[in-house]
């Protein structure tokens, strides 16, 4: 079987869990004997490409005099509207991105209608423009290749998926890693919502990363439950013994929050719980690693509570820094208000760090050896943290069972389920 | 003539409330009174009351031909007395028929047989006392929590004067042997053993309402047929189940009451089996063999071992922390602490921490108030942490009251009324009176008492003349003082100060101090001496000075 897959990012150039998940899935599929053509807006050349083709949309040459493309463009160009949308990016980053893009655009002077379009592949101010151009390029790629199934990851690539389906008539599977409700709460961006819904409606089958997300897809997007299938994410089994050697310079135990500091991740609940724990036991340090639009507010709150000497902010961490952070941690906390899946607790458990996760996360559906609390229940959250720090038996249990549990959440298994979805999609079309 | 022994276990734990870590040290009410009351009332309505009535009716109908045996845990008795006293009255009515035997067990339905033999013996005694008081007869047959048994437990039970014990007919122990005989303990053959026939017991307890079970529906006639199918030489069938099976775990609608109502008649008219209690069986049956059980067995799950309560890291930590308190508890008389100590030992708390179900995927056999064993553990450990603090405080209190010399206490008592109104003038007065005020108010711990009195002395007005007069005095001079005075001096200081001051002191001086220390203080003192090297010289000097000051204050 051959799959034409549309993604937005690919390791090592990632901003969130999407790229990591795509990478794991592609590797798993390749092991199952599936050929994957993976299309990204912009390839940097240093991506790992074991056993599959990575297509750089920025390399595609398009002739706009071709009538067919013009028709297609007419159909999708409404996407240009409302292009100030920048998900996943904090205020400082937004300023920086805007500056960068201004520079780029003026120097290269490129337009959407030039023969070659240099995608940024980021979530910048020209995002909508890029999404529509990406869809256009997709139609070219769709025509030039042969494949059995089209698979599109998240709304950014849904127009591309739809375009490819229109051209080839092959079944389309869209993969929902997150919905607009997870990203923006109730203040949804209508353009994005419409794109998401169109993608799900046009798709022959919809894959969601958790039952939680499946429920949102059914209830908020009105999609037929019959065609929505949950395939839980997995995690790459990586052993990095060098991080076991990381020296701890602090005598206190460390409790870590790692992720974007945004409303949906619940950083405020983490601070309030930290305050409760510190009142009882001052020999603990709390770390908030990551950045986001709530970061300044969080710093202010920590100061207000007078826990500044015990509560630390690291800013955005990536790559090896993340692993070092895990190696330094005694407890990992993910108090997300809304989390379609949430792969980071699995990474923490892989490093033998016990985790506390919110019941409002997809990952809580697959984990047994984790403490689960309601995100709003600060008392329960604080209690779970305190328990993990003070009662040795708990830690021992987590180390004994947690790693084993995570190691069993293999992408190979998830890929097997995705393959079953492909097969089902094919029967639907024929 | 062969026998069938029907025995029912009655037990309810005191379930814990949600107890957060920030309650530690602040709140000492551990139990979910609302939930516990609700559950005991519900089970009383659905099971205990109607089942007791049924048993009484059966005894009225068949007279002494129908026999039944119960064991009721102390925690169940207390809750029934509080919230459903009519159930206890029902059991008393049953007791008066003479057709019912009540067994002994650990008061708190605890795992004390695994934790501490001293505690185990105490609890069994406490339970036997309760049963004797309620039902008029001291039990002679013993059942351990969850039918836990081993050679060692059996030996202990025999030593306590029981002649019979009941346990599980575990396959891995019996091998080819049948549970349907009387056996005996391998270390003390005087203790007879009755073994549970787990197939027939579980047919009623677990499979009764399972529609997928090929034998469903189970009727009294069918059950009698199975009894008849047992080889004729085999002597006794022991059906040991939880009483809650009737009406609570197997609902009334499943026909469980009808089954038991029909059973006596069916057995008596269609088989050669007759109903008997363990004590009756002990009188008539001789053991056919010794049973060797080096490792404990129980009636639980397929494994019939202790892994539902002990063995994983959570259970082991909680259990060892709990029983590490045993020695301290023995020195405490505070009834509220002893009560909680009892309730915290109940086996159910450890059952909630079992992780076996993760792999089995089976549902909990019993009601479990926690979403996962981790929550159960954290909650229990929070409670235990608070309990440990209370135990330590209570110990200090006891130590503060007990070993103080009579003279001092008497003197203090005389002065007490004055203390309330007048301000003390002299240094010594301050010392004694303050101590007494604190003690009588019972708010501050003994440690604080010592700190306070020490402070009081330090703050005492420094009269230069006096200082000069006693400037030659030092720690060594205590040899010349009476024991009572030395005791008084020591009592006025932290034990840490005393130990530090003893560094480098002459042998006679040390002996003088040591013989005037309380038992507990002496232990701490020796421990502290071991660490004395780590203590800074300046600290030691300070301690000596403080010591000398106390001597001077006293002599003056």
**DSSP per-residue string spanning B392-426:** HHHHHHHHHHSSS-HHHHHHHHHHHHHHHHSPP-S
Residues facing residue A149 across a β-bridge: A3
Residues A389 and A268 in one domain: yes
Calculate ∠ Cα A270-A271-A275, nearest 5°.
115
Q: How far is CA B452 from CA B217, B406, B432, B547, in A?
A: 74, 21, 11, 15
* Cis upstream peptide for B217 (omega within 30°): yes
Are the beta carbons of B317 and A391 separated by less than 8 Å? yes
Residues of chain A contacting B, Cβ within 8 Å: 276-277, 279-280, 368-369, 371-372, 379-380, 382-384, 386-387, 390-394, 396-397, 400-401
Are the beta carbons of B313 and A390 separated by less than 8 Å? no
Return the structure tokens found at A79.
Answer: 């996407």
Residues A326 and A416 in one domain: no
Are the beta carbons of B21 and A382 separated by less than 8 Å? yes
- Which of B18, B19, B21 should we substitute to test contact with A (largest number of A Cβ atoms within 10 Å)? B21
Q: Give the pLDDT score at A429.
A: 77
Return the structure tokens found at B415.
Answer: 């002065």
Query: b vs e for A294-319, b when ≥16 Cβ sit within 10 Å of the residue's Cβ?
Result: bbeebbebbeebebeebbebeebbee
Residues A379 and A398 in one domain: yes
Handedness of CA B541, B546, B552, B554 (dihedral sign): negative
- What residues in A contact B313, CB-CB < 8 Å? 392-394, 396-397, 400
The half-sphere exposure of B322 on its side-chain side, counting CA atoms within 13 A, is 31
CA-based nearest residue in chain B for residue A359: B371
Residues A333 and A266 in one domain: yes
Residues A260 and A403 in one domain: yes
Query: Mean pLDDT, 10 residues at a time, over chain A (430 residues)?
Result: 88 73 89 88 70 73 57 45 37 50 42 56 66 80 89 92 91 94 83 93 96 96 96 80 66 92 93 96 94 91 91 86 90 94 89 94 93 96 96 88 88 94 89
Return the structure tokens found at A280.
Answer: 């009882």
Q: Which residue has the tokens 């000497």?
A: A309
Find the CB nearest B20 among A383, A393, A396: A383
Return the structure tokens found at B159.
Answer: 């030593």
- What residues in A contact B26, CB-CB < 8 Å? none
- What residues in B contact A382, CB-CB < 8 Å? 20-22
Three-state secondary structure call for residue B354: coil
Q: Give the Cα separation of B519 and B510 in Å (integer).
A: 16
Q: Which residue has the tokens 């920030």?
A: B22
Determine which helix (DSSP H) or strand (DSSP E) holds B387, and give its type and residue range. Answer: helix B373-401
Are the beta carbons of B374 and A280 separated by less than 8 Å? no
Residues A219 and A250 in one domain: no
Nearest CA-CA distance, residue B185 and chain A, Å: 35
CA-based nearest residue in chain A for residue B318: A393
Are the beta carbons of B372 and A368 separated by less than 8 Å? yes
Q: How close are the terminal C-alpha atoms of chain B, in Å?
A: 89
Q: Are B112 and B73 in contact (CB under 8 A)?
A: no
- What residues in A contact B375, CB-CB < 8 Å? 371
Calculate ∠ Cα A402-A211-A196, nearest 5°.
125
Find the CB nearest B312 among A371, A383, A397: A397
Find the CB nearest B314 among A279, A368, A397: A397
Find the CB nearest A391 among B355, B358, B381: B381
Residues A271 and A222 in one domain: no
Q: Give the Cα separation of B143 and B71 in Å (integer).
A: 8
Are the beta carbons of B20 and A394 separated by less than 8 Å? no
- What residues in B contact A394, CB-CB < 8 Å? 313-314, 374, 377-378
Strand pairing class (A253-258; B2-10):
unpaired
Nearest CA-CA distance, residue A276 and chain B, Å: 8
Q: Give the Cα separation of A47 and A343 in Å (integer).
A: 21
Nearest CA-CA distance, residue B22 and chain A, Å: 7
Find the CB nearest A394 among B314, B358, B385: B314
Residues A263 and A224 in one domain: no
Tell me if ipTM is over 0.85. no
Residues A171 and A107 in one domain: yes
Angle between helices B483-491 and B406-421 (to 10 degrees): 50
Per annotation, catalytic residue among B78, B101, B105, B146: B146
Instruction: Give the domains, in start order, of chain B with CATH numbers.
Output: 2-291 (3.20.110.20), 313-387 (no CATH), 406-555 (1.10.220.30)
Give, as one character, the DSSP assignment of residue B217: S
- Which of B18, B19, B20, B320 should we substitute to test contact with A (largest number of A Cβ atoms within 10 Å)? B20
Which residues are CB-neighbours of B528 under 8 A, at least 6 positions away? B495, B496, B499, B500
Residues A73 and A218 in one domain: yes
- What residues in A contact B312, CB-CB < 8 Å? 397
- What residues in A contact B324, CB-CB < 8 Å? none
Q: Give the pLDDT score at B490.
A: 77
The dihedral formed by the CA atoms of B542, B545, B551 and B554, expressed in degrees to the nearest 10: -80
Query: b vs e for A143-173, b when ≥16 Cβ sit within 10 Å of the residue's Cβ?
Result: eeeebbbbbbbbbbbbbbbbbbbebbebbbb
Are the beta carbons of A280 and B314 separated by less than 8 Å? no
Q: Give the Cα separation of B379 and B382 in Å (integer).
A: 5
Q: Kindly report the backbone phi and psi dihedral angles of residue A262, in degrees, each rounded to the nearest multiple of 5, phi listed first.
A: -130, 165
Q: Give the pLDDT score at B415.
A: 44
Are the beta carbons of B22 and A276 separated by less than 8 Å? yes
Q: Give the Cα separation of B62 and B33 in Å (integer).
A: 40
- What residues in A contact B359, CB-CB < 8 Å? none
Are the beta carbons of B318 and A393 separated by less than 8 Å? yes
Determine which helix (DSSP H) or strand (DSSP E) holds A278, and give its type and residue range. Answer: helix A267-280
Q: How far is CA A242 from CA A20, A324, A344, B81, in A?
A: 21, 10, 20, 62
* Cis upstream peptide for A12 (omega within 30°): yes
Question: Smallest Cα–Cα separation from B56: which of B90, B84, B86?
Answer: B90
- Active-site annotation holds for B146: yes
Size of interface A-B (CB pairs under 8 A): 68
Find the CB nearest A280 among B21, B358, B381: B21
Are the beta carbons of B381 and A383 separated by less than 8 Å? no
CA-based nearest residue in chain A for residue B312: A397
Residues A302 and A400 in one domain: yes
CATH of the domain at A202: 3.40.50.2000
Are the beta carbons of B314 and A368 separated by less than 8 Å? no
Are the beta carbons of B21 and A372 separated by less than 8 Å? no
Are the beta carbons of B378 and A372 separated by less than 8 Å? no
Q: How close are the terminal C-alpha atoms of chain A, in Å?
A: 16
User: Total domain count for chain A?
Assistant: 2
Range of the domain at A55: 2-234+411-429
Residues in chain B, pLDDT under 50: 361-364, 406-447, 449-450, 452-470
- Which of A358, A391, A398 should we substitute to test contact with B (largest number of B Cβ atoms within 10 Å)? A391
Question: Smallest Cα–Cα separation from B266: which of B223, B314, B301, B203?
Answer: B223
Q: Give the pLDDT score at A124.
A: 56
Strands (E), B198-268: 236-242, 246-247, 250-251
Find the CB nearest A393 among B24, B313, B358: B313
- What residues in A contact B21, CB-CB < 8 Å? 277, 280, 382-383, 386-387, 390
The count of other CB atoms within 10 Å of the CB of residue A268 is: 18
CA-based nearest residue in chain A for residue B353: A394
- What residues in B contact A387, CB-CB < 8 Å? 21, 374, 377-378, 381-382
Q: Give the Cα separation of B399 and B404 in Å (integer).
A: 8
Are the beta carbons of B377 and A386 separated by less than 8 Å? no
CA-based nearest residue in chain A for residue B313: A393
- What residues in B contact A401, CB-CB < 8 Å? 355, 358
- What residues in B contact A276, CB-CB < 8 Å? 22
Find the CB nearest B378 among A372, A394, A396: A394
Nearest CA-CA distance, residue B349 and chain A, Å: 15
Which residues are CB-neighbours of B397 under 8 A, at least 6 positions away? B334, B442, B445, B446
Are the beta carbons of A394 and B374 separated by less than 8 Å? yes
The count of other CB atoms within 10 Å of the CB of residue B474 is: 15
CA-based nearest residue in chain B for residue A381: B20
Q: Are B275 and B68 in contact (CB under 8 A)?
A: yes
Which residues are CB-neighbours of A128 under 8 A, at least 6 positions away? A79, A80, A81, A82, A83, A85, A191
The count of other CB atoms within 10 Å of the CB of residue A91 is: 13
**Residues present in chain A in total:** 430
Residues A210 and A86 in one domain: yes
């Amino acid at each position: 079987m051959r799959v034409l897959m549309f993604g937005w990012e690919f390791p090592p150039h990632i901003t969130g869990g999407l790229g990591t998940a795509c990478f794991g899935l592609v590797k798993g599929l390749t092991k199952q004997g599936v050929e994957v053509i993976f299309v990204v807006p912009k390839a940097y050349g240093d991506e790992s490409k074991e056993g599959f083709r990575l297509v750089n949309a920025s390399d595609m040459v398009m002739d706009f005099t071709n009538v067919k493309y013009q028709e297609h463009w007419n159909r999708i160009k409404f996407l240009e509207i409302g292009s100030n949308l920048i998900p996943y990016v904090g205020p400082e980053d937004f300023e920086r991105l805007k500056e960068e893009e201004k520079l780029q655009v003026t120097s290269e002077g490129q337009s959407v209608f030039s023969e070659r379009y240099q995608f940024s592949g980021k979530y910048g101010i020209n995002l909508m423009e890029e999404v529509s151009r990406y869809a256009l390029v997709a139609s070219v790629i769709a025509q030039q290749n042969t494949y059995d199934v089209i698979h599109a990851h998240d709304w950014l690539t849904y127009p591309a998926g739809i375009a490819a389906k229109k051209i080839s008539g092959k079944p389309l599977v869209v993969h929902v890693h997150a919905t607009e409700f997870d990203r923006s709460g109730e203040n949804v961006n209508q353009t994005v919502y419409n794109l998401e819904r169109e993608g799900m409606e046009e798709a022959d089958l919809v894959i969601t990363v958790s039952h939680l997300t499946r429920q949102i897809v059914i209830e908020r997007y009105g999609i037929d439950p019959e065609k929505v299938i949950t395939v839980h994410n997995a995690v790459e089994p990586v052993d990095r013994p060098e991080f076991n050697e990381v020296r701890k310079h602090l005598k206190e135990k460390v409790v870590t929050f790692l992720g974007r500091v945004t409303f949906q991740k619940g950083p405020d609940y983490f601070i309030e719980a930290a305050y409760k724990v510190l009142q009882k036991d001052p020999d603990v340090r709390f770390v908030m690693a990551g950045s986001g639009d709530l970061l300044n507010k969080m710093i202010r709150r920590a100061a207000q509570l007078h826990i500044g000497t015990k509560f630390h902010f690291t800013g955005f961490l990536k790559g090896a820094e993340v692993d070092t952070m895990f190696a330094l941690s005694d407890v990992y906390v993910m108090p997300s208000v809304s989390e379609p899946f949430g792969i980071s607790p699995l990474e923490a458990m892989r490093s033998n760090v016990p985790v506390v996760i919110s019941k409002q996360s997809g990952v809580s559906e697959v984990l047994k050896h984790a403490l689960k609390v309601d995100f709003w229940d600060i008392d329960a959250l604080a209690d779970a943290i305190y328990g993990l720090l003070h009662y040795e038996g708990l830690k021992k249990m987590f180390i004994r069972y947690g790693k084993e549990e995570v190691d069993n959440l293999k992408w190979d298994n998830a890929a097997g389920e995705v393959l079953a979805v492909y097969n089902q999609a094919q029967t639907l079309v024929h | 003539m062969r026998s069938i022994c029907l025995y029912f276990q009655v037990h309810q734990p005191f379930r814990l409330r949600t107890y957060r870590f920030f309650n530690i040290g602040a709140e000492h009410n551990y139990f979910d009174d609302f939930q516990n009351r609700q559950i005991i009332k519900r089970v009383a309505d659905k099971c205990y009351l109607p089942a007791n009535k049924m048993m009484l009716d059966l005894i009225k109908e068949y007279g002494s031909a129908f026999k039944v045996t119960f064991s009721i845990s102390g925690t169940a008795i207390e809750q029934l007395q509080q919230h459903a006293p009519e159930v206890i009255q029902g059991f008393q009515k049953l007791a008066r028929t003479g057709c019912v035997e009540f067994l002994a067990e650990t008061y708190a339905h605890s795992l004390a047989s695994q934790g501490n033999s001293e505690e185990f013996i105490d609890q069994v005694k406490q339970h036997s006392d309760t049963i004797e008081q309620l039902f008029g007869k001291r039990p002679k047959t013993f059942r351990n929590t969850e039918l836990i048994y081993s050679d060692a437990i059996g030996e202990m039970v025999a030593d306590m004067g029981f002649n019979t014990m009941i346990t599980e007919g575990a396959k891995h122990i019996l091998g080819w042997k049948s549970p349907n005989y009387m056996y005996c303990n391998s270390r003390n053959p005087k203790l007879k053993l009755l073994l549970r026939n787990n197939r027939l017991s579980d047919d009623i307890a677990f499979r009764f309402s399972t529609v997928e079970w090929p034998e469903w529906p189970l009727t009294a006639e069918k059950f009698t047929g199975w009894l008849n199918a047992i080889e004729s030489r085999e002597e006794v069938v022991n059906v040991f189940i939880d009483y809650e099976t009737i009406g609570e775990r197997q609902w009334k609608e499943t026909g469980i009451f009808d089954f038991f109502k029909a059973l006596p008649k069916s057995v008596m008219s269609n088989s050669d089996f007759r109903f008997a209690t363990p004590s009756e069986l002990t009188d008539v049956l001789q053991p056919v063999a010794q049973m060797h059980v080096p490792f404990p067995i129980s009636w639980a799950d397929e494994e019939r071992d202790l892994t539902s309560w002990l063995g994983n890291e959570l259970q082991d930590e909680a259990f060892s922390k709990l029983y590490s308190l045993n020695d301290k508890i023995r020195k405490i008389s505070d009834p509220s602490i002893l009560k909680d100590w009892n309730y915290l030992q109940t086996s159910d708390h450890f059952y909630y921490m079992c992780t076996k179900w993760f792999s089995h995927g089976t549902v909990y056999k019993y009601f479990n108030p926690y979403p996962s064993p981790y929550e159960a553990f954290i909650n229990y450990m929070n409670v235990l942490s608070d309990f440990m603090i209370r135990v330590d405080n209570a110990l200090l209190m006891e130590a503060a009251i007990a070993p103080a010399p009579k003279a001092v206490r008497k003197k203090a008592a005389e002065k007490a009324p004055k203390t309330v109104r007048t301000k003390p003038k002299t240094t010594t007065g301050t010392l004694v009176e303050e101590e007494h005020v604190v003690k009588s108010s019972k708010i501050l711990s003994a440690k604080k008492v010592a700190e306070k009195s020490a402070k009081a002395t330090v703050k005492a007005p420094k009269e230069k003349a006096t200082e000069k007069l006693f400037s030659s005095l030092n720690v060594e001079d205590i040899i010349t003082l009476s024991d009572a005075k030395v005791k008084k001096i020591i009592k006025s200081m932290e034990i840490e100060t005393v130990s530090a001051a003893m560094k480098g002191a002459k042998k006679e001086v040390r002996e003088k101090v040591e013989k005037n220390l309380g038992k507990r203080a002496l232990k701490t003192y020796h421990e502290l001496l071991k660490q004395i090297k780590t203590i800074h010289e300046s600290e030691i000097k300070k301690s000596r000075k403080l010591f000398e000051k106390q001597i001077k204050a006293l002599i003056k």
